[in-house]
Amino acid sequence: MNSLAGKRIVLGVSGGIAAYKAVEVCRRLMDAGTHVIPVLTNGATRFVGRATFDALASEPVRMSLFDEDDPIPHTTLGQTADCVLVAPATARVIGAYAAGISSDLLTATLIATRAPVVICPAMHTEMWEHPAVADNIATLVKRGVSIVGPESGRLAGGDEGAGRLSSPADIVAEVDRVLDFSGRRLDMGGLSVVVTAGGTREPIDPVRYIGNRSSGKQGYAFAEEAAARGAEVTLVSTVDRPGPLGPTVAPGVTVVRVNTAEEMAVATAEAAKEVDVVIMAAAVADFRPVDPAGVKIKKSDGVPAIQLEPTPDILAGLGASKPEGQILVGFAAETCDVADNAAAKLSGKCADYIVANDVAAENVGFACDTNEVTVLASDGRVRPVGLRSKRQVARAVLDLVMEDRADAREENQ
Ligand code: CTP
């Protein structure tokens, strides 16, 4: 995908140590053929020099709301931009943008634009996790602003934690995606999608449960990707959106919260009745205690013998009663013989696609931010999707589903 060539991008840089990485973002955007207009805050210039951007970008650095050549530079920039990207975005810029306060050229441009906006937060973990920042991010997500990162890792001063600016490659990929969507019809517009997310919890007693390591990140990524492409999404999930957003989800996603496999089975069957696409990304427990204790089991009573029984296989149930034309996507979480086990699930559960996940591999599967999968289609095609963010994995899988759907519709005409 290259939707970048020829586009005008305002690259906002605010004052954080990660500002030096914006130089690489600028260079990559230039290499992709975009017209880059750098807008720096005063704080940014304490971390990176104007001259660097002057030399690299398409236009000289802009900083002031009161430019002698242009009486209203923020409206000119905002109106003519195809995308406004802020990398890094500090807590101050995020707060000002969320509150509609335009105290400098960058925040004024953000408020004066109708172009898509991509915000890449970078700050210390304490700041990123502060409820004020979390609320501001949630506000921006609700308004349809695209948020990239932050990632976890080493921060300034040797600290570790969430708050590190996403990689320049991921930032540029997101700008590309956002421009791609703003430039064409949303390819999932008019479609309804059900996604499941998270691991189910099967109670042993009122305080303990049988669970698994699923975080729900891949399911949320599918839901938000489908919604960003125009679909109306119901997300049946055992967890809130992982990360600081809590219960806030992107526009177009309705969340139905459940706990157990049984609850997920009922909610999913209800939601999936007439939808176009179902994606079973949840890690559903296969067994549950037959008779959960009504009161907390006491240690003094000795080691409990917990009798288990199978839970309903939701995907297999959906596969058996699939309405004509519905597309059913399942997952296979495997730790060995991935290809064979995934193929057996594809046919055994009557799915159209199985997304095979080697959950024993590093940076793949449960709880991490990245994933690497192989998609098996029911007609025997196999499409590997290399290591990338869970959102990008969702995008690649939905690209395949939508390509196949378009081909099938063409054949039927
Ligand atoms: N699944 C389901 N209901 C279950 C178990 C799994 O709907 N009770 C779905 C999952 O959401 C996933 C697919 O089936 O889309 C495969 O799940 P996975 O855990 O990989 O395999 P299982 O079918 O549980 O089989 P096994 O544990 O033996 O690998």
How far does residue 114's CA lie from ligand 1's centre (Å)?
43
Residue 406, SS3 per DSSP? helix
Mean pLDDT of successive 10-residue stretches along the chain, which has 413 residues:
85 95 97 95 94 95 81 81 96 97 94 94 93 91 87 80 91 89 74 98 97 95 91 96 76 94 98 97 98 96 95 98 96 95 97 95 84 95 89 91 90 82
How far does residue 106's CA lie from ligand 1's centre (Å)?
48
Rg of the chain over all Cα atoms, to the nearest angstrom: 23
- Specify the pLDDT at position 178: 86
Q: Is the CB of 279 under 6 A from ligand 1?
A: no
How far does residue 94's CA lie from ligand 1's centre (Å)?
40
Other CB atoms within 10 A of residue 325 CB: 10
Q: Which of 200, 308, 314 to mutate to test the pocket of ligand 1 (most atoms within 8 A of CB)?
A: 314
How far does residue 283's CA lie from ligand 1's centre (Å)?
7
Q: Which two tokens stand for residue 11?
A: 């690259």
Q: Which residue blocks in 100-147 are alpha helix, DSSP H?
A: 105-112, 125-128, 131-142
Q: Which residues are within 8 A (CB) of 101 and not within 5 positions of it... i.e. 6 or more apart?
A: 95, 107
Ligand 1 atom at minimum distance from 310 CA = 8
Give kind and range of the element (H or E) at residue 27.
Answer: helix 19-31
Q: Is the CB of 81 under 6 A from ligand 1?
A: no
Of the candidates 292, 290, 284, the one whose C-alpha atom is nearest the C-alpha of residue 317 is 284
CA 327 to mean position of chain CA atoms: 21
- Specify the pLDDT at position 292: 97
Q: Is the CB of 331 under 6 A from ligand 1?
A: yes
Give kind and range of the element (H or E) at residue 255.
Answer: strand 253-257
Q: Is the CB of 280 under 6 A from ligand 1?
A: yes
- Specify the pLDDT at position 309: 98
- Specify the pLDDT at position 41: 96
Task: Evaluate whether 113 touches 81 at the Cβ level (below 8 Å).
Answer: yes
- At CB < 8 A and 24+ separation, what contacts does 177-181 make? 177/1, 177/3, 177/395, 178/83, 178/116, 178/118, 178/146, 179/3, 179/4, 179/7, 179/82, 179/83, 179/116, 180/1, 180/3, 181/116, 181/228, 181/229
Q: What angle do CA 181, 182, 184 make, to 5 degrees?
A: 65
Q: Are strands 327-334 and 277-280 parallel, antiparallel or unpaired?
A: parallel
The catalytic residue positions are 212
Of the candidates 390, 189, 191, 365, the one whose C-alpha atom is nearest the C-alpha of residue 278 is 191
Q: What's the count of helices (H) and strands (E) in the chain, helices before strands?
A: 13, 19
Q: Is the CB of 288 under 6 A from ligand 1?
A: no
How far does residue 348's CA lie from ligand 1's centre (Å)?
11
CA 14 to mean position of chain CA atoms: 24
- Specify the pLDDT at position 183: 56
d(CA 64, CA 86): 16
Q: Is the CB of 313 under 6 A from ligand 1?
A: yes
Q: Is the CB of 261 under 6 A from ligand 1?
A: yes
What is the amino acid identity at position 279? I
How far does residue 2's CA lie from ligand 1's centre (Å)?
36
Ligand 1 atom at minimum distance from 282 CA = 11
d(CA 93, CA 341): 49
Q: Is the CB of 330 under 6 A from ligand 1?
A: yes
Ligand 1 atom at minimum distance from 317 CA = 7
d(CA 215, CA 287): 19
